[in-house]
Amino acid sequence: MTTTGQTTTAHPRLARYLDGYQRVIGADIPAGAAELLPALDRLNLHDDPFPFATVDDFLPEDLYRSVLANWPSQSGFDPVARFVEGQPKAYLGNRKERIIENFAGSDAPMATETWNRTRLALRHPEFVRALFERFAGPLEEHLGLDRLQDRDQPNFKLYANQDTGATEALGAHLDAAPKLLTIVVYLQFEGNTDETSVNRYGTALYECRAGEHDFLNFSSNAAHRRAHQVQFAPNRAFIMPNSPVSLHGVAGSQDGVLRKTLMTGYWANKQ
């Protein structure tokens, strides 16, 4: 793993971001909340078709079971939409989401015992630094994009997600440019699953050249050539730094199947 000193010297943009993250988001989190650090020892790193990683048994077993036992009620989920100037512009699939925490947002986070433990573990500065340093090169390059030059305020977002329905779960896309890194924790799927479900409800990674697609521009999964398939497995984390080639999506499209996931995003906001 790249050391912090090496990151400071060789990756100055990332070093500034992590220092800001420590100061803005991680200052008062108890040391004992860094319970996800051991999971990084089981990180399976890949660089084809772009950098990503998986970690099995990501959440401690008791926390994994507690998250499922304390899953938000159905009434708390809203369809995922792309917002432009505060207005929904397009529906992006059948996914629904529930905000657990948006650090920079105005709404209070879900603060029950289970969700406090989950969000503090995922935004703990020691965990974030150790994870980001595994992807120091790609993150340093991404932070150099022109569209990120006025974004120097770290942010953390955590969502509970549900995918269900006969249409695709989430179209192929590049994440929003200010989103630096994503963790998707596959939790559970249920219903009329079959032997294809582990692929359909994992994450498909597509061939993409830099400049071929814009960030946050969604299209049908079927329109792209799949280069790699991350299979669904309970309590598996899919981790991906953002880049102009990290085209991915979730096919889903099995009527009667429900997939539950957590999605964590680490962002660079405007001041």
pLDDT tens by residue, 110-131: 989 999 999 999 999 999 999 9
pTM as predicted? 0.93
| CA atoms of 176 and 195, how far apart (whole Å) | 32
State the average pLDDT over residues 31-51.
96
Residues 250-254, mean pLDDT to the nearest whole number:
95
Per-residue pLDDT averaged across 248-256, rounded?
95
Taking 90 as the threshold, does the pLDDT of residue 11 lie above it?
yes
How many CB atoms lie under 10 A from the CB of residue 168?
A: 22
Q: What is the mean pLDDT of residues 226-241?
A: 98
Mean per-residue pLDDT of the chain: 92
- Asked if pLDDT for residue 187 goes beyond 70, the answer is yes
When pLDDT is cut at 50, 70 and 90, the band that residue 85 belongs to is low
Question: Strand, coil or helix: what is 222?
Answer: helix
User: What's the pLDDT band for 89 if we cut at 50, 70, 90?
Assistant: low
Residue 228 has pLDDT above 60, yes or no: yes
The vertex-48 CA angle with 44 and 49, nearest 5°, equals 130
Where are the alpha helices (H) located in the chain, listed in sequence order? Answer: 4-10, 12-24, 61-69, 113-122, 125-134, 136-143, 197-200
Between 3 and 259, the more confident residue is 259
List, in order of start, the domains of the chain with CATH numbers. Answer: 4-269 (2.60.120.620)
Q: Is the pLDDT of residue 87 over 60?
A: no
Overall average pLDDT of the 27-48 stretch: 95
Tokens of 224: 């792209």
Instruction: Quick: pLDDT tens for 126-178.
Output: 999 999 999 999 999 999 999 999 998 999 999 999 999 999 999 999 999 99
State the sign of the Cα–Cα–Cα–Cα dihedral 238, 241, 245, 250. positive
